[in-house]
């Protein structure tokens, strides 16, 4: 009787452990798998119909990573022979022995016998479910021989496609241009089961970027496993998940590959991306970022509007936004060349001042107005995603640009101060002569106020345009206060709002910038010399103290004086004037 109770408790313990994975079908552990076993695998070759093909266990491949084994199989059957072996897009195809799930196809070899593949054990994949605190299985160097999961791209062409491809090369992803627009053919149904085709999407809408794979496992709780290898291998993620329609499998000497497209309806989201595969939840949808772009070509009176949904990923979002913007401009203008652009963006996000920021600007380029018109959008996205202070949760991105093929640009030809006398607190009227590109010269009068605490004497006035005046910077006030000495400052900023506010206050490219530099008085020069001599004496005393403490071999050579960079003056007028007492 005692033996039966122990036996019952042992069985109960095993059931509790297995129920923690919410196993929907019976599995076969790796310890029971032997060479020579026959089984089957499931995948979609065309449409959405799940089909089976035979497999044979060749061996167990130990130590394919830290504490990780894989299963070597050989696939066969009419369909596999017809396409030339295991294809890219079959990643995640579940493999069964004696009706029990042993894992999913995850890896193969290019330019080799295509019938061989490596299977990721289902036990490793099940750890991905509810794995927020799980570090997952080490991927080691398996990505080098993994079944490729190329990103299928629809809507990006030419240089926008090439630039995005270059941006994603560092992540080990290959971009393939293809019409992956949402919406499969009407006769294809979307019943989801192990072996079904699914799409993991980064962008969805007028532009589509996604990768096709296969469902490995489903359970009644809505958990889903796929791929059998990492996608980006980024851990906790939030990617869009939809079913997919396979248009066909293309034979290739390197490796066959599936052509497919995501279906219109979203299934849920992928929340985990680790070495053993990807995992997600059905009917739990991603928090996407809507992107709305409007481009108007004034020359041809052509307008295009582009709408897309983007995943929330700080490493990808800036590249995705700017390259979609470039495609929108190139497609509307249908040329690369000269023009003037008026741009406006509005970004809404939790963490921004007043919840949203807006900025208008103007650009001119003789060679490539489309690329230059994206500068503001790129810079602000880079600030938001790369700032070291806080996470900014993007809610909505709007970008509007109107392009004229003419050169709406002018040179600052001459300037003069109209006032006969100038005193601190006075308004100075400046007459600026502007010469438009191949146009008639015109005059613009500008008034500025001289601060009341300005020292009398000679002063220099610099007049510049916003685009050539990018060296103009607002420096944080009171940066030398004693309270600040014990605080770390990132390039002069202490928080994210100050970075954004400073950026938004920068002069626009069509602004006229007037800066006044008061001259030094003899008293100022004498005070500065005394201050400098005091610092030098203190530095010498400190150096003598340091030299006593340091050994000769560890004494650093004195720093060389920094060379002043020669200031470049383009399209700039400098006027000298006198400020009287």
Do 198 and 248 lie in one domain? The reply is: yes
Do 387 and 416 lie in one domain? The reply is: no
What's residue 546's pLDDT?
A: 43
Please check whether residue 339 is in contact with residue 365, taking contact to mean a CB–CB distance below 8 angstroms: yes
What's residue 457's pLDDT?
A: 83
Is 138 contained in some domain? no
Domain end among 282, 301, 323: 282
What's residue 179's pLDDT?
A: 61
Regions of the chain with pLDDT less than 70: 1-24, 65-67, 111, 131-149, 179-190, 467-491, 520-581
Domain end among 383, 404, 425: 404
Please check whether residue 178 is in contact with residue 156, taking contact to mean a CB–CB distance below 8 angstroms: no
Look up the CATH number of the domain holding residue 122: 2.40.10.10
Say how far apart CA 581 and CA 109 lie, in whole Å.
83
Do 377 and 462 lie in one domain? The reply is: no
Do 149 and 252 lie in one domain? The reply is: yes
Say how far apart CA 321 and CA 306 lie, in whole Å.
11
Do 234 and 273 lie in one domain? The reply is: yes
Per-residue exposure over 477-511, b if at least 16 CB sit within 10 Å of its own CB, e if not: eeeeeeeeeeeeeeeebeebeebbebeeebbbbbb
Could you list the residue range(s) of the whole structural domain that residue 263 is in? 145-182+189-282
Residue 156 neighbours by CB distance under 10 Å: 25
Do 307 and 366 lie in one domain? The reply is: yes
Do 388 and 297 lie in one domain? The reply is: yes
Is 316 contained in some domain? yes
Do 313 and 384 lie in one domain? The reply is: yes
Could you tell me which residues are beta bridge partners of residue 52?
A: 42
Is 209 contained in some domain? yes
Say how far apart CA 282 and CA 264 lie, in whole Å.
15
Is 137 contained in some domain? no
Do 34 and 89 lie in one domain? The reply is: yes
Say how far apart CA 408 and CA 362 lie, in whole Å.
9
What's residue 491's pLDDT?
A: 62
Domain end among 228, 251, 282: 282
SS3 118: strand
Is 102 contained in some domain? yes
Do 161 and 259 lie in one domain? The reply is: yes
Do 46 and 111 lie in one domain? The reply is: yes
Is 559 contained in some domain? no
Do 265 and 241 lie in one domain? The reply is: yes
Could you tell me which residues are beta bridge partners of residue 212?
A: 199
What's residue 313's pLDDT?
A: 94
Query: How many domains in the chain?
Result: 4
∠ Cα 132 138 140 (to 5°): 150
What's residue 173's pLDDT?
A: 76
Predicted TM-score of the model (pTM): 0.78
Is 368 contained in some domain? yes
Is 538 contained in some domain? no
Please check whether residue 270 is in contact with residue 311, taking contact to mean a CB–CB distance below 8 angstroms: no
């Amino acid at each position: 009787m005692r033996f039966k109770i122990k036996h019952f408790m042992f069985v109960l313990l095993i059931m509790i452990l297995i129920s923690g994975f919410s196993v929907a079908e019976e599995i076969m552990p790796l310890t029971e798998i032997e060479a020579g076993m026959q089984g089957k695998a499931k995948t979609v070759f065309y449409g959405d119909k799940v089909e089976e093909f035979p497999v044979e266990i060749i061996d167990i491949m130990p130590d394919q990573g830290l504490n990780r084994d894989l299963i070597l199989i050989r696939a066969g059957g009419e369909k596999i022979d017809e396409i030339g072996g295991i294809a890219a897009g079959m990643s995640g195809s579940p493999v069964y022995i004696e009706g029990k799930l042993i894992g999913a196809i995850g890896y193969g070899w290019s330019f080799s016998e295509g019938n061989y593949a490596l299977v990721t054990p289902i036990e490793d994949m099940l750890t991905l479910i509810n794995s927020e605190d799980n570090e997952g299985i080490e991927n080691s160097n398996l990505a080098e021989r993994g079944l490729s999961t190329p990103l299928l791209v629809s809507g990006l062409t030419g240089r926008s496609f090439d630039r995005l491809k270059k941006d994603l090369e560092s992540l080990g992803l290959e971009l393939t241009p293809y019409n992956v627009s949402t919406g499969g053919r009407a006769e294809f149904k979307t019943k989801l089961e192990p072996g079904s085709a699914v799409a993991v999407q980064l962008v969805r809408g007028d532009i589509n970027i996604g990768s096709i794979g296969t469902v490995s496992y489903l359970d009644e709780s809505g958990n889903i496993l796929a791929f059998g290898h990492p996608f980006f291998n980024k851990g906790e993620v939030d990617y869009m998940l939809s079913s997919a329609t396979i248009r066909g499998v293309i034979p290739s000497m390197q490796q066959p590959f599936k052509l497919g497209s995501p279906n219109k309806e979203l299934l849920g989201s992928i929340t985990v991306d680790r070495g053993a595969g990807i995992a997600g939840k059905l009917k739990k949808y991603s928090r996407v970022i809507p992107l709305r772009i409007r481009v108007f070509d004034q020359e041809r009176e052509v307008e295009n509007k582009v709408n897309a949904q983007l995943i929330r990923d700080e490493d990808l979002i800036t590249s995705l936004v700017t390259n979609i913007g470039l495609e929108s401009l190139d497609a509307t203008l249908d040329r690369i060349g000269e023009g003037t652009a008026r741009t406006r963006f509005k970004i809404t996000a939790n963490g921004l001042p007043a919840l949203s920021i807006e900025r208008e600007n103007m650009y001119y380029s003789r060679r490539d107005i489309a690329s230059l018109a994206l500068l503001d959008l790129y810079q602000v996205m880079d600030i938001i995603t790369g700032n070291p202070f806080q996470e900014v949760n993007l809610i909505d991105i709007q970008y509007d640009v109107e392009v004229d093929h003419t050169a709406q640009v002018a040179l600052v030809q001459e300037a003069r101060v109209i006032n006969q006398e100038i005193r601190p607190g006075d308004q100075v009227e400046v007459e600026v002569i502007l010469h438009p590109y191949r146009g008639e010269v015109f005059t613009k009068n500008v008034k500025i106020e001289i601060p009341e605490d300005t020292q009398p004497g000679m002063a220099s006035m610099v007049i510049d345009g916003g685009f050539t005046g990018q060296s103009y910077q607002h420096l944080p006030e009171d940066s030398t206060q004693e309270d600040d000495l014990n605080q770390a400052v990132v390039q002069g900023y202490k928080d994210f709002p100050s970075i954004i506010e400073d950026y938004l206050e920068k002069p626009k490219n069509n602004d006229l910038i007037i800066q006044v530099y008061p001259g030094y008085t003899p008293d100022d020069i004498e005070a500065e010399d005394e201050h400098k001599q005091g610092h030098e004496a203190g530095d010498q005393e400190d150096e003598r103290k340091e030299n006593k403490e340091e050994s000769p071999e560890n004494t650093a050579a004195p720093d060389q004086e920094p060379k002043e960079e020669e200031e470049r003056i383009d399209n700039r007028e400098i006027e000298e004037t006198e400020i009287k007492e």
